[in-house]
Structure 1
């Protein structure tokens, strides 16, 4: 009933929209007649011509486009009745129970979602081909009862009570959107249309939320209260597990140039191995913040409605939903081959991937101690474990470790240095070929001895190695393991020469120089550094300790010794030796430095990079004396001015500031977010605000996408995020078209003349499980034409 009311109201408001157009058209002709009585007729016609076009031509053209619009071809892996007879039988039976026809096609997709999409025609009056999209993570994570509840909900949107005029209402939204998109920004005719369109969408979406509750009642009728409620809770659990899976397992492999041979089967193993953690997640209810623009009610409201809905007695089937697809693992591999672009990465098994990623993580963790060891023994011995043990036996541990632990007293050095030594011991054992990594789905990788295959804990060995009296026992233990104590662990270098992957110079800073700013955990040629900004150059401290906060670490580093000594101990890059500096991005800082000898340094900060002072980034840009390249990945190809230095001075590039009009997001709130979207084939993070879209360039490793978005919105005010990045206010979108809703692909035309395409890859991570739908809804609120 509620859907029919919604559709009737939408049709009435749609008629009112075109009645408004007729009223404005009559007003334009009246204005023309009045002007013709005062001035020559031709001049009067010229004056009213833009208003005449807006009030008549654009409305008719938009209506025609809504009728003729066609969606993009569906994506995903088709599953035929012959491949999955049990799944098809279940879907057909559920469709009959909720009172609608079954889908014509079922497709597997790599997202935590399910949806039914129909390609209707003639303003939706003629039904079209119906597609059911099933996210493969749901089949692995839901029980049969929960899966039936999800399917009943999605099919319930197309039940008899929902289809009377629903398609007309949907197409009415397209017609209004097409009209709004064709009216110029400064045309006064558009002001009334846009206001009416927003009112239309507010009314429409308020009823859409009611329709979601009605679809939930359909799920209760079919699957029962318990299954319907558990399904809603479990969707949030699976979504969190999917993000964790990508962050902990898939992401590190992807960033190292590899990809798993069984992407989706691995998720099944993760769910099986993390049952205790998933159980804890089930006890938590997500904190929903309702908005008038939401298309779904808050979870708590939906659960309360389910608890009070009438239901019949339904036996709860706790068997896994994957039983409906006996060949699900094989289909998952086919889906991976069809949709996941490896981009030249090497495909490996999970044990092989773990060996590579764990080994690379060990090297990174050992680099700081290894670099310090090389500095101390330079010119006297190779930087090996044997040399380190010699230093300990000679009573020189404090000399070795104190710069790495500036806050530790002499008595505390050994105790605090022992955990830092474990990665170096592991690295030596790796390179000696006496240990191997065992893959685990229930915890971190385990280090095993090659000879006996038993877990190996090197923490006790590290505690022996840092005490002169027990160093001999540590040597014996290492020899018994087969570790080569004489093998160099890092490349040797002269004292005071550059420690990082790209060379600077060995010159010390002038004695009277002072620290003007600093960055903690700034990436220098992709290697984490703490960077101090001096009046004469940069001090780069490689692989900083992550056990304390960045700003505290920078402060303690400055207090530990004079600036000139810091420059001697670490890599120092004088400004005089920088031949060219190119600022690719102001905030967060991204710069390319070319030294006088031809070598290059790339500096890359993130939104979470701690600064010594708030002005550190602008101070460094001023000292480098460089202007931005004005380069913007993707949309910047059209040109635009370069971003200004300093806070609020630049987003990803020139067009960003032209589009955003200098910020203007005061009081805005975040509706949702998508990490790792493509904007004209360049990678961005996207925040959806109630006032516009914020595009964040060069976001970072894709596996940390959701974590990155959460950190960003918790750490920075929304208006500052918008001001420092590419803010596209909704009123600046002249025309929008959503060619595909799952996953989203949209084309925007901005008031500046720029045309951009936003594409949501299958691997996109979102703040909530509704991120793509929220983006489509946001574009609809400004009159986007949605055709797929």
Structure 2
């Protein structure tokens, strides 16, 4: 009864919204007729003409466009009844049981979610074509009974059993913003509509939360209490496993320029091999902090309602949901090819990826010791493991290791240096072909000896290698393993390291003398330079001639002489001489380089810096292999914030001059967040506040997204986050249009005249599983038209 009353109120308010348009139109014509009876007709027409245009023109056109609007085509991989007859039969039966019609199309999507989206007509009053979006991770992670509960819940939103008006209210809230979005900011007729729309949302949110509970009842009725409750809990487990999978396996490969050939099949293997960890996750319930803006009730409330629902005698089918799609692995590969943009990354098998990423991690871990060894033996011999052991045997360990461990005493130095030596031993063994990495789904990669194929732990050898008396024994055992002690540690990697996976597949870097990118008028330590990015380093041309356009100047420079001659005539900085690189901002580029001789270089591009090619900045960042600090404040020694260099709160690329607008966000609250969304062509983290949207530039690796967002909101006040980044207040949004809901794609027009597009990639990590909907609801509150 409560659901019926609330849905009825929502539908009445929906009708009232358009009745308001008719009333205002009649009122304007009535005012015109009254003025015409008092003053000459021509003068009356001149006075009433602006209101007539606003009412009959702008509002009428907005209504007509809202009625005629068509959403963008949905994304995902369509699955036909011929391809998946069992899945289609289940979906059709579930639709019948919950009391609604089945979807017209099923699409597989690469997210931990399921949704039914309807392309309604006539402002949401008439139903339209339905699409069921089904995340592949759910098919791999849920049982059949749990999947039935999830699908019944989604179909239940359109069920007439809840209330005959519920489906209309559900569609109506998706359409009411269409008219608002098409009414100009300064149209006085539109003010009444926008105020009415905000009132509608207050009522509608209560309806939506009630509908979620009603949809849960549909899940209980179809699948039973146990399956419905287990499904809600398991969704959080699968979501956490998906994030772990991207962070531990996919992310490192992606950031290094590679991608797996079987993205979703890998997740299936992870779930099968991580059951103990998943079992521990099932024992915990996520903490929900309810907000009046939430469209979903807290998880605890939903589980309590399910536990109190009438008992249904439903058999629980614990078989895996993947049984509904026997060719799920093949479909996963098709989905990966269709939707996941590799952006030129090499596609490798999982063993190859493990060899590559573990080898790259070993190189990074060994870099400090290798760099220090290079300094100690500068000019006398190439740095190698044999030279390092010679230094230890000659009692020169303090000379080698003390700069790396300045706080350690002479007595403590060997024990603290030994762990730092393990990656150096591993690197030497990899480059000698004495060991290889073995991929594992149940734990970190394992290092195996090539001779016997057994797991190998080099920590004990490292302990021997740091003591003069036992270093000869370490030398002997390393030789017995097949490690070439004379092989240079800074040479081109061998098999099993980043340059060559264990399979022998070649993945050579770019030629040293190849020009990969360039910057015109880039400031290097505040002095303008033209900079060419080579495969081996950077050519810095000081004080370039400004009489010629930047890109043409770079092209002429490249064509003027061979690259080798350019490196001789101008300052050349090899990557090998860069001890540390830190990216402070990626758009526009700002980087700090610390050279091995102690010098520092600051590279600073502007919003209008000409590039040799559009990927110059990303190519340079990748070649530097740098750590990204982002644009957030760093904690100081006393725990307070320290401004980050270059953190000016600018807008996205091409939006120079857009202010941060963060002032006055005191008391604001975070509703949700999405990591690594695209704003035009730049990446940002996005926080949805109750006062606006915060865009945080240079966010960092996508596979750390959720962790990064949680750390951010836990460590910094919301007002300070807004102040140091780009806050778009809702009142600054003149017009908004959501072209696609799964994943979100929205176009915004700001009062400053700027137009931006926010796109949620499939790989986006979010604070909650409803982040996309929260963003849409936030935009709907300012009258966004939702057409997709």
CA distance in 2, matches of 1:743, 1:68: 23
CA distance in 2, matches of 1:526, 1:183: 56
Aligned match of 1:413: 413
The one-character-per-residue Cα deviations of 1:343-392 (angstroms, maximum 9, x if unpaired) are 22111110011001100110011001100111111133321111111111
Pairwise CA distance, 1:457: 0.2
Aligned match of 1:675: 675
Q: Is the 8 A contact 1:674 1:767 kept in 2?
A: yes
Pairwise CA distance, 1:177: 1.7
Aligned match of 2:630: 606
Aligned match of 2:598: 571
The one-character-per-residue Cα deviations of 1:170-218 (angstroms, maximum 9, x if unpaired) are 5544664233223333444444332221110110111110010001011
**Structure 1 residues 171 and 783: alpha-carbon distance in aligned structure 2, compared to 1, 3 A threshold:** farther
Aligned match of 1:766: 766
CA distance in 2, matches of 1:5, 1:657: 49
Aligned match of 1:146: 146
Structure-to-structure mapping, 1:467-482, within 5 angstroms = 467-482=467-482
Q: Is the 8 A contact 2:382 2:488 kept in 1?
A: yes
Structure-to-structure mapping, 1:205-354, within 5 angstroms = 205-354=205-354
Pairwise CA distance, 1:163: 7.0
Structure-to-structure mapping, 1:314-463, within 5 angstroms = 314-463=314-463
Q: Secondary structure at the match of 1:403?
A: coil
Pairwise CA distance, 1:11: 2.5
Aligned match of 1:60: 60
**Which residues of structure 1 form unaligned runs of 5+?**
493-499, 506-523, 532-537, 543-568, 586-591, 594-598, 621-644
So what's the TM-score if we normalise by structure 1? 0.81
Structure-to-structure mapping, 1:49-128, within 5 angstroms = 49-128=49-128
Pairwise CA distance, 1:475: 0.5
Pairwise CA distance, 1:114: 0.7
**Structure 1 residues 652 and 71: alpha-carbon distance in aligned structure 2, compared to 1, 3 A threshold:** closer
The one-character-per-residue Cα deviations of 1:87-113 (angstroms, maximum 9, x if unpaired) are 222222212211122222221111101
Q: Secondary structure at the match of 1:765?
A: coil
CA distance in 1, matches of 2:579, 2:326: 44
Pairwise CA distance, 1:602: 9.0
2:605 matched to 1:582? Answer: yes
Aligned match of 1:665: 665
Pairwise CA distance, 1:167: 5.1
Structure-to-structure mapping, 1:179-218, within 5 angstroms = 179-218=179-218
Pairwise CA distance, 1:607: 4.2
The one-character-per-residue Cα deviations of 1:541-565 (angstroms, maximum 9, x if unpaired) are 57xxxxxxxxxxxxxxxxxxxxxxx
Pairwise CA distance, 1:146: 0.7
Pairwise CA distance, 1:43: 7.1
**Structure 1 residues 39 and 488: alpha-carbon distance in aligned structure 2, compared to 1, 3 A threshold:** farther
CA distance in 1, matches of 2:448, 2:461: 15
CA distance in 2, matches of 1:459, 1:694: 46
Aligned match of 2:568: none
CA distance in 2, matches of 1:40, 1:183: 31
CA distance in 1, matches of 2:371, 2:54: 69
Pairwise CA distance, 1:467: 0.9
Decide which moves more: 454-463 or 749-758. Answer: 749-758
CA distance in 2, matches of 1:504, 1:476: 44
Aligned match of 1:509: none
Structure-to-structure mapping, 1:616-655, within 5 angstroms = 650-652=650-652, 655=655
Q: Is the 8 A contact 2:706 2:767 kept in 1?
A: yes
The one-character-per-residue Cα deviations of 1:399-424 (angstroms, maximum 9, x if unpaired) are 21111112212211111111011011
2:698 matched to 1:698? Answer: yes
Q: Secondary structure at the match of 1:303?
A: helix
2:750 matched to 1:723? Answer: no
The one-character-per-residue Cα deviations of 1:73-100 (angstroms, maximum 9, x if unpaired) are 2221122222222222222221221112
CA distance in 2, matches of 1:728, 1:299: 30
The one-character-per-residue Cα deviations of 1:559-616 (angstroms, maximum 9, x if unpaired) are xxxxxxxxxx742137xxx8x843569xxxxxx99xxxxx999995324674668897
Aligned match of 2:562: none
CA distance in 2, matches of 1:696, 1:461: 46
**Structure 1 residues 501 and 371: alpha-carbon distance in aligned structure 2, compared to 1, 3 A threshold:** farther
CA distance in 2, matches of 1:436, 1:63: 66
**Structure 1 residues 12 and 660: alpha-carbon distance in aligned structure 2, compared to 1, 3 A threshold:** farther
CA distance in 2, matches of 1:734, 1:77: 35
**Structure 1 residues 649 and 306: alpha-carbon distance in aligned structure 2, compared to 1, 3 A threshold:** closer
CA distance in 2, matches of 1:601, 1:484: 27
- For the aligned residues, what is the CA RMSD? 3.3
Q: Is the 8 A contact 1:401 1:417 kept in 2?
A: yes
How many correspondences in the alignment? 690
Q: Secondary structure at the match of 1:571?
A: coil
CA distance in 2, matches of 1:697, 1:271: 33
Aligned match of 1:157: 157
CA distance in 1, matches of 2:298, 2:384: 59
**Structure 1 residues 539 and 214: alpha-carbon distance in aligned structure 2, compared to 1, 3 A threshold:** closer
The one-character-per-residue Cα deviations of 1:269-323 (angstroms, maximum 9, x if unpaired) are 0011111111111111111111112111110110010010112122222111111
**Structure 1 residues 583 and 186: alpha-carbon distance in aligned structure 2, compared to 1, 3 A threshold:** same
Pairwise CA distance, 1:4: 4.1
Q: Secondary structure at the match of 1:468?
A: coil
Aligned match of 1:753: 753
CA distance in 2, matches of 1:654, 1:255: 25
The one-character-per-residue Cα deviations of 1:19-56 (angstroms, maximum 9, x if unpaired) are 54455556666877898999998777666654444444
Q: Secondary structure at the match of 2:460?
A: helix
The one-character-per-residue Cα deviations of 1:249-284 (angstroms, maximum 9, x if unpaired) are 111111122111111000000011111111111111
The one-character-per-residue Cα deviations of 1:149-184 (angstroms, maximum 9, x if unpaired) are 111111111222357344543554466423322333
Q: Is the 8 A contact 1:63 1:175 kept in 2?
A: no
So what's the TM-score if we normalise by structure 2? 0.81
Aligned match of 2:707: 707
Decide which moves more: 116-125 or 713-722. Answer: 116-125
